Structure 1
Amino acid sequence: MMGSVRCPATCAAAGVRMQAGADADPGVSRVGGRTKYSVRVCINKTCKGQGSPGVLQFAQDLCHPDLDVNSCGCLGNCGNGPNMVILPAEREVSHVGTPARMAEVLNMECGIQVSSDLVEATQCRQSGNVLARSGKLKEAMDKYSEGIALGVSSTLHLLYSNRSGVRLTLGDHEGAQADALLAVEHAPVGFTTAHIRLIDAYYIQGQYEQSAQVLQNLVDTNPEFRATKEFSLISKQLEKDLKVVAR
């Protein structure tokens, strides 16, 4: 259900920046001749509890060139959340609690088509994550496999990466390695988790040199990773283990 158009002060309080322009179409801005939509999803306490982080992640994972997706603070209307707003027209939409609902809104309000397979693959991943967090690892792996079978390219790096983590926990080290390799193959630049999964899979099998090579590949493609605490911890541990092996 569409909410009422909110005043600039309300959006400002929620951390939403307006895009000015008297000639702009309602809810859109023009960038290089393309229609650009800014979508802000409330992640305040009530909306968060109603599932807004999941739909926010879903919209961000689309990586659509005509979408700028981010979080914001409370938009009010908390009883009808999760809530989101489309800028610059400040068009508020309520009850956006599932990927399917977000896909519906993007189609209706922005003219952006989201395939049913993408929605289903995302729901499989999110369900798998819930199962994994609750310790139901085999059921989680089945959900990830179900999502992978849909073959939606933009979701494969996430699904393979998550399934790799579950397999590693279950002791299927070779399976974890195979999934991590596929996650790396499908991963966009900047998605470092796939490489970390592969480092872990090699490491637990005592293949320290392979782990070190994957780490080097990671910093070659993502130089900023070298400045992270995670890089420091991994590199120090590998350096120590490689010295032990060399003795």
Structure 2
Amino acid sequence: MAVAVAVAGVTTTNRSCCLASAHRRTLHRHRHPAPPRASGAVEVRVCTNRTCARQGGREVLAALAGLAPPRVDVDSCGCLGRCGAGPNVAASVGGSIAVFGHVGTAARGAQLLEHLLGAAEFNAAAELAALAAREKAEAALEKGSAAEAEVLLNEVFGLNACGGMHLVYRSRSKTRLAIGDISGALEDAEEAIRISPRFIQAHLLRGDALLAMGEYCAAEDAYADALDLDPSIRRSKSFKARVERLREKLVSATNP
């Protein structure tokens, strides 16, 4: 059934979208609540206060976020004491809290996760290799070498890593969008969401893939899912650009 679409002052008929206004609904619609975090979560907090920041706390935070499996919640925190022994990391497992010092490199972070989760769940060597391959692929993509990036990301899947796989699927989704493999990009974005339902970038990439397919209503829903998870993205240039692209596509579709 055809539906009426009003965009930028133009009212017409279009089968591909159910929007009254792409911009207005994407920015203001209230939808279902964000999904809960995974059960059995392990909490890891990295001190990024002044002393620990100088000792590499922010870099360790980024490395742990890239290494952690979905059930590990990684975030920053304030001072944990023991200044000078940092970067300091606090971990909560099963209600028990411990603070670890001198976690100053990605390798030390991986060893800590292996200690917390057990080697059967988290193999530090494999996870570090996967992290290095993903970072190399992302660097290649930034340089415009999407084909090289895809090869590197495909190699990650042979490493039997479990941590940061939502980031691997995110990066491959971006890569596949760049090379024109839209269906593959959509599959990867949806897999990233399955692994980490609260991963905003995956919802945005899902919207990008759907937009490229001409599925404008579904793209708007994906962008709205991301907005539900973090309303502050409405102020970002990248989100505004996505909304504008959606509007342009709708205008083009309604005025062939």
Q: Deviations over 1:72-118 (max 9, x none)?
A: 4676438xx6x2233687744215312x432322344x464422444
CA deviation vs aligned residue, 1:195-236 (integer Å, no higher than 9, x gap): 322333454x5x43x143133145358634567416555344
Whether the aligned pair in 1 keeps the contact of 2:185 and 2:209 (CA below 8 Å) is: no
Which of 196, 208, 222 lines up with 1:200 in the alignment? Answer: 208
8 Å CA contact retained: 1:38, 1:69? yes
1:18-58 C-alpha deviation (Å, 9 max, x unpaired): xxxxxxxxxxxxxxxx8966542446244158x42432313
1:63 partner SS: coil
After superposition, the Cα gap between the structure-2 partners of 1:147 and 1:47, relative to the gap in structure 1 and judged at 3 Å, is: same
Q: How does the TM-score come out when normalised to structure 2?
A: 0.59
Counterpart for residue 156 of structure 2:
147
Higher relative contact order (CA 8 A, sep 6+): 2
Q: CA RMSD in A?
A: 3.8
Match in the other structure for 1:189: 197
The 1-side partners of 2:118 and 2:47 are apart by 17
One-letter code of the match for 2:138?
A: N
Match of 1:18 in 2: none
Change (3 A) 1:218 1:199: closer
1:161 aligns with 2:166: no
Is the Cα–Cα contact under 8 Å of residues 182 and 209 in structure 2 kept in the other structure? yes
Equivalences for 1:11-22 in 2 at 5 Å? Answer: none
- State the shift of 1:178 in Å: 0.8
- Structure 1 residues 176, 118: CA separation in 2 closer, same or farther (over 3 Å shift)? farther
Asked if the contact 1:163/1:176 (under 8 Å) is kept, the reply is no
> Which segments of 5 or more consecutive residues in structure 1 lack a partner in the other structure?
1-33
Alignment partner of 2:88 out of 84, 94, 109: 84
Which one of 115, 136, 146 corresponds to residue 127 of structure 1?
Answer: 136
Contact 1:189 1:222 in 2 (8 A): no
Identity of aligned residues (%): 19
Native 8 Å contact 1:141 1:163 kept in 2: yes
Structure 2: distance between partners of 1:41 and 1:226: 26
The answer to whether the Cα contact below 8 Å between 1:212 and 1:238 also exists between their aligned partners in 2 is: no
Equivalent of 2:104, from 77, 91, 96? Answer: 96
TM-score after normalising by structure 1: 0.60
Q: Name the structure 1 match of 2:29.
A: none
Q: Taking structure 1 as reference, are residues 94 and 131 closer, same or farther at Cα in structure 2, changes over 3 Å only? A: farther
Give the Cα–Cα distance (whole angstroms) in 2 for the partners of residues 193 and 223 of structure 1: 13
Unaligned runs of 5+ in 2: 1-39
Could you tell me how far 1:162 is from its partner in structure 2?
0.7
Distance in 2 of aligned mates of 1:223 and 1:123: 32
CA contact (8 A) 2:204 2:222 kept: no
Match of 1:180 in 2: 186
From 208, 219, 223, the equivalent of 1:214 is 219
Deviates most, 180-189 or 220-229: 220-229
> Is residue 52 of structure 1 aligned with residue 43 of structure 2?
no
Q: State the number of aligned residues.
A: 199
1:62 aligns with 2:66: no
Question: Which whole-Å CA distance do the structure 1 matches of 2:113 and 2:54 have between them?
Answer: 24
